[in-house]
């Protein structure tokens, strides 16, 4: 078993050395979340920071008594809690630190309790499992209670093993944790981002697994003519699948390849990409797209971020939330919007170049 790389745990002013070597923990969350830390970035506007804070207040008001987040019907606890934790982390708020530390500590406990209750380490449904794995990876070594590190490490290693066992022969993943469940671009992107984060943290992810993902994305779902990605094959390309496919391929080390660069051009040349009425799964699409632009380079990012930032500002509801299609059916829009808006802070390692 490997401990997290110190490089993985140094993000802006965040400092935490490898687990088991020291009890050093992140600086106070109020210091970490100081907007002045990113004052050199012209795209960090006061309006965006205010929107993020309003989003935080909405999340705090809607946190369940057990520490989780879910949709209004009480579903998708693992996805909602994982995303909400990462939304706070994007501005340097971590469990046990600062003004949000207690709420985030309850969320962390919820995830760890669910992990320890699972006989296999599976969080249930590969979408939720991918987000759960990603949250564990980014939490590892970043909590106030250093005794949690071993619990997080154990849960993370088990979660990664579930993913590795579930990879299909073609190289992707679908809804269930079985290799015979099939594959699609959407689930594959969600799952592989979590594997990339875990690998960056020091968890073993075989090169063969990554190679199979590359083969699947390039040969099965990328459309050479358009440069986009399809959902279940290389026809019917969509913005959300292209954003997810591009980001996953970049994390596989394919940034400079022509096929991945073509997918970036596909996104950038789509005239209605910032219009929520024209883009299916708007928040998923832009959750991936902004990170794909970060990976593509500063020129792409600096053109993309102000446009999605301003679009999200107009979509925020009076209560501080964001909604998909005018409904609060899923728990993802608000934390994903916060993560997108908070991209300039660059505190979460997997969201860095």
Residue 349's pLDDT is 73
Question: What SS3 class is residue 208?
Answer: helix
pTM recorded for the entire structure: 0.88
Q: What is the pLDDT along the chain (353 residues), one digit of tens a residue?
A: 334 443 333 333 232 322 222 222 232 233 333 333 444 554 789 999 999 999 999 999 999 999 999 998 999 999 999 999 999 999 999 999 999 999 999 999 999 999 999 999 999 899 999 999 999 999 999 988 888 999 999 999 999 999 999 999 999 999 999 999 999 999 999 999 999 999 999 999 999 999 999 999 999 999 999 999 999 999 999 999 999 999 999 999 999 999 999 999 999 999 999 999 999 999 999 999 999 999 999 999 999 999 999 999 999 999 999 999 888 888 999 999 999 999 998 777 777 76
Mean pLDDT for the chain overall: 88
- What does the pLDDT look like over 338-353, one tens digit per residue? 999 999 987 777 777 6
Contact partners, residue 212, CB within 8 Å, separation at least 6: 167, 170, 171
pLDDT digit string (tens) for 55-105? 999 999 999 999 999 998 999 999 999 999 999 999 999 999 999 999 999
Give pLDDT tens digits for 283-318: 999 999 999 999 999 999 999 999 999 999 999 999
Q: What span, in angstroms and rounded, lies between the C-alpha atoms of 152 and 298?
A: 33
The set of residues, in sequence order, having a beta carbon less than 8 Å from that of 13 and lying 6+ positions away, is: 27, 31, 32, 37, 92
- Which residue reads 């970060």 in tokens? 294
Q: CATH topology for 29-351?
A: Glycosyltransferase (1.50.10)
Give strand pairing partners of 327. Answer: 324
Number of Cβ within 10 Å of residue 263's Cβ equals: 30
Q: What's the rounded Cα separation, in Å, for the pair 88 and 346? A: 12
C-alpha triplet 220, 249, 204: angle, nearest 5°: 110
Radius of gyration of the chain from Cα atoms? 19
């Amino acid at each position: 078993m490997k401990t997290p790389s110190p490089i993985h745990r140094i993000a802006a002013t965040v400092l935490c050395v490898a687990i088991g070597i020291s009890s050093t923990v992140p600086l106070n969350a109020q210091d970490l979340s100081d907007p002045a830390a990113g004052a050199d970035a012209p795209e960090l506007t006061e309006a965006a920071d205010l929107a993020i804070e309003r989003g935080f207040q909405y999340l705090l008001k809607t946190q369940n008594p057990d520490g989780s987040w879910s949709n209004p019907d009480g579903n998708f606890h693992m996805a909602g809690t994982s995303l909400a934790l990462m939304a706070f982390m994007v501005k340097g708020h971590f469990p046990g630190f600062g003004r949000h530390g207690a709420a985030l500590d309850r969320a962390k406990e919820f995830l760890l309790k669910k992990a320890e209750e699972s006989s296999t380490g599976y969080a249930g449904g590969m979408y939720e499992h991918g987000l759960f794995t990603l949250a564990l990876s980014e939490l590892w070594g970043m909590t106030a209670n250093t005794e949690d590190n071993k619990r997080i490490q154990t849960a993370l290693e088990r979660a990664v093993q579930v993913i590795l066992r579930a990879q299909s022969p073609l190289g992707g993943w679908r809804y269930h944790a079985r290799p015979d469940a099939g594959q699609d671009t959407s689930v594959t992107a969600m799952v592989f981002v979590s594997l990339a984060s875990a690998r960056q943290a020091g968890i073993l992810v075989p090169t063969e697994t990554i190679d199979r993902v590359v083969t699947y994305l390039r040969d099965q779902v990328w459309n050479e003519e358009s440069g986009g990605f399809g959902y279940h094959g290389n026809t019917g390309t969509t913005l959300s699948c292209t954003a997810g496919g591009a980001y996953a391929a970049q994390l596989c080390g394919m940034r400079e390849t022509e096929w991945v660069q073509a997918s970036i051009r596909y996104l950038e040349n789509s005239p209605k990409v910032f219009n929520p009425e024209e883009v299916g799964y708007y928040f998923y699409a832009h959750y991936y797209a902004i990170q794909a632009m970060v990976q593509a380079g500063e020129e792409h990012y600096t053109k993309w971020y102000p446009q999605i930032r301003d679009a999200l500002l107009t979509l925020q509801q009076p209560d501080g939330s964001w909604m998909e299609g005018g409904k609060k059916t899923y728990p993802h829009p608000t934390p994903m919007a916060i993560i997108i808006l908070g991209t300039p802070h660059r505190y979460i390692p997997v969201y860095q170049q």
